[in-house]
Chain A
Amino acid sequence: MNFGQFLLRRLFLMIIVLFGVACIVFFIANVIPADPVGAILGGNAPPEAVDRLKAKLGYDQPLIIRFGNFITGAVRGDFGVSLKTSNPVMEDIKNYFPATMELALVAITISIILGITLGILSAVHRNKAIDQFSRIFSILGVSMPVFWIGLLLLLVFYFKLGWLPGSGRLGFFTYPPPRVTGMYLIDSIIAGQWDTFKEALLHILLPAFVLGYNATASIARITRASMLDVLRQDFIRTAKSKGLRKNVVIYRHALRNSLIPTVTIIGLVFGSLLEGAVLTETVFSWPGLGRYITTGMLFLDYPAVMGGTLYIALIYSIANLIVDILYALLDPRMRM
């Protein structure tokens, strides 16, 4: 099977997965015994008004027709109109998503760099101080809930020490950079506004670290385990028997082999990162898609919830597709 076929197959599988997610999202939203129309109009609305709004929103149609409409709309990128903001949901997503993507990308970057470094160091210096440190760090990361670490770090770095800003993407008096990607870090570089860049960076550090902490821990543990496993392999002995220096053996021969399981984990934790964004964004008042979905949920804004969830599922699938491609690049045996 060549690479093109591989890609086609993966894309086909992705469509099936997304269809499954769409089904689940739709039916959950429609079997919850809560009435968005009632929520909008209030309990004392006249029945005619209720009927009119139901007809306008399409809630008078049978479930299956509504499902058909939802799917055909979703394929065209049309998730309906948000009940709360009265904007098309897709437009809201376009506004909110870059903030989440920026947060998730910075978070995953921090966790990859920190996680892989910790993993390698603890495998190479097994049972030494750095290994013990990384073990404790990881156990804390896996076991503490995101919102709690978030509050704790806010307390220390914002409230007590005052080193880092507490909430939002920029200071209150700073204008966002001209929009190109919607990610302030990138946009401010494009516009050459270095002060804004620095401010955006300071704002994103804490939430990104909190969001990525769990992922960092997983990546560090997996990298350590797989590095230890690889270091026991025969070909490592061969590399040593060639008289290669320790660092060459570790970084040239062992690292690439040990990254294969790590890449899988990165794909998986990226999913939990998007999921964790919902909580992190709430704690840090980060105006992203996670918060959009959370507030949508509180207002029974189903189009927003369904659209936002499906969009996150799409991004997650794309992340996993990228992981599969990375696999093939790392391990020639996968290219068969």
Chain B
Amino acid sequence: MRGFAVCVALLSGLVLPAHAEAPQRPPERPPERIVSINLCSDILAADLAAPGTLKSVFRLGRDPGDSPVAHRLQHIPPNDGRLEDILPFAPDLVLAHEWSSPFTLDLIRRIGIPLATVKDARSFADIRENIRTVAAALGREERGETVIAEFDAAMEAARREGEGPTAILYQDLGSAATPNSILGRILSHTGFRNVVTAENEVGLVYPGIEDVIALRPELLALGVYRPDAPSQAKALLEHPALRLYRERYASEVHLPARDWTCSTRFVAGIAARLAAAHDAMTDERREQHSLLTLPPWEGQTVEDGLGRGRR
């Protein structure tokens, strides 16, 4: 009812000034009725919000295919990110993404509901910054620092040094992560050399299957999103040539998309998987090195490659 009243007031343009600025600093009293309208802010809020204060989350936040915190949000009602969905909860803080619909964000600002947006994190520093942004908006800075410390510790544990094996991070639709994307940074953090060297704003390039094979990565890290749903995008990863290459010449690791679709602290899970792959590959290489007494870079052919299907 209150939502409806606010809406009428807004539409008639009587009550509120058109550009009521949302308070950028945290209010004196920490917010108690938080609504998140974006998957990425859902994930952050699940970590940071005080119990019982998160009143509604974006529908994808409750979907195990997309959200690493889905199991913790099942009891929270979903919204579809529209103003109509938000108002009935009478929020005193809305969490959104910088890429959320600008019309919705503008309406929220004009109504005067405090708004905090997270940004598209492209580096580990961005991930920390997002945690701090949301923690500050929630008035829970301490909790934020704890989460950051946990994240930093997990990333430190996954750090691998040196000129490691070559790798490509290949996903549905045939896109590969560039070094300046978050996934590219995790690759180098865990000691891999990304065979993709081009960088661009989007953080993705689109090598065809033959290009992937020609780059000869020793590790194929495959981004896996909703493995049960059929799509042409996914059929690409099952291309016989790529499968043969994976079986004969390369190691393979699967990276569930829910941990990296939003760059949040959960990318540490991706780093852990890659670090484990790195360890397995370097162990294997060391064994071969001692066996063949050949420099490892020259010892790779069909017979003695690093692949899991090694004969």
A and B from one assembly? no
